Structure 1
């Protein structure tokens, strides 16, 4: 294989790498930075070293994962100084195109593995934020990309057994959160009821479709106006949402499918200025997430 064909094969993996890094880091900008650094490491290899690599995809996946592991520590520190609430970046359902088939898999029920749609949902990415950097990297590599533990151990500098423990711990957190969610059909039914109540402008109707302990989080990143702290409780959240509609009637809300299920795009002057995703219980909305930071809307415009 020529140097040009080897490099071409490596460059063709860019979308896969951005997809991988996004799941590990939670924003497209950070994922792009990680992928850029990964390719810097690739081109630092000699021609002979690159020619000796049997699978550029596997090499790049491991290298990108190591970069993300390094970045996760500093990312956590940056989020502690973030202005207001920090939320993972919402992405369109078509953000990363058709996924590749996993390279390999352990012998267990494929239904036990996180679906690729779910793995870029705000709900799951929020759970991943609560994990240690090593847990998150192990979880994404094994549960989403299906990399064997022996290869993951090389990435995180742990033993196979330690990586299995990290994966089990991460899986328990994800399952605990998933147990609270309803089917996609039920989610969308409740969200349509929420939309109708919000459009009615009636406080009592909106309160009726909100969980009594509902939480609203809005992420403006200090770039645009947003609530600096969570809004908690059905009455407060309902008043907050109706207040937005009254103060900014020029903003139009349009339904759209997101990796979290039915959500909404906020349109102003032919641009999306916000994305709304929701977490739903059996009969009501439990969490409302508003991402307004324009730096986290790059894929929507």
Structure 2
């Protein structure tokens, strides 16, 4: 198999995910297919010599294509969902229970409709890539020419708009219960339960200050992330961090550590924030009930 064939095979492996990203951003099956094809053309021109993380590169690339298309719509009204296909379902491509799939698909459709109707293109881009596909703020920032801190604020603003509309992809109360279950399993050292709550491709990211406290800068995969948290989180308490379910460690009345979670069907990503300036910039509400 030559290099071109290998590149095409890797791209086809990522096509379902890329189609889901594009469909959620654009709300049109036909436009999503066009965006995915444009992404393939970009990849074929770029090559892979300098691409360390091909799935991440492709996710960001298709998001950039969609952002350009959204901006090109200009002052025209947002386009409604078309009839060219069903709204995208879960990211996982393995077979799922049909009833559960239908519920999730309906939920995703409602959430995206709200995103399309209420969010500006940059907000939409940040919301979809981070909150639905766990792309880090550091990866998103160069695409929208903002700092990672500014992108975090954009995500928080978009998240609040979606939540206030009453239509979110996943019920916030359910997200909160997943986080609470994860913290309990972490404290009690229940490794298998931790793995069950994590997406197989989950990513744990830590800021520089956290790595100075012996945390790993990044860990990937449910087993690695579960091993890191197994027996930990003894002092962590549930909180809302930038309007999303999370957790904090409070010492002498000060937040020392903030954990943010991206929760889909399971936990897709966790970020550990320790740097005092970054922690101070977060909007944290501690001890909110799951029905918030």
Q: TM-score, normalised by structure 1?
A: 0.46
Q: TM-score, normalised by structure 2?
A: 0.48
Q: Of the two, which has the highest radius of gyration?
A: 1
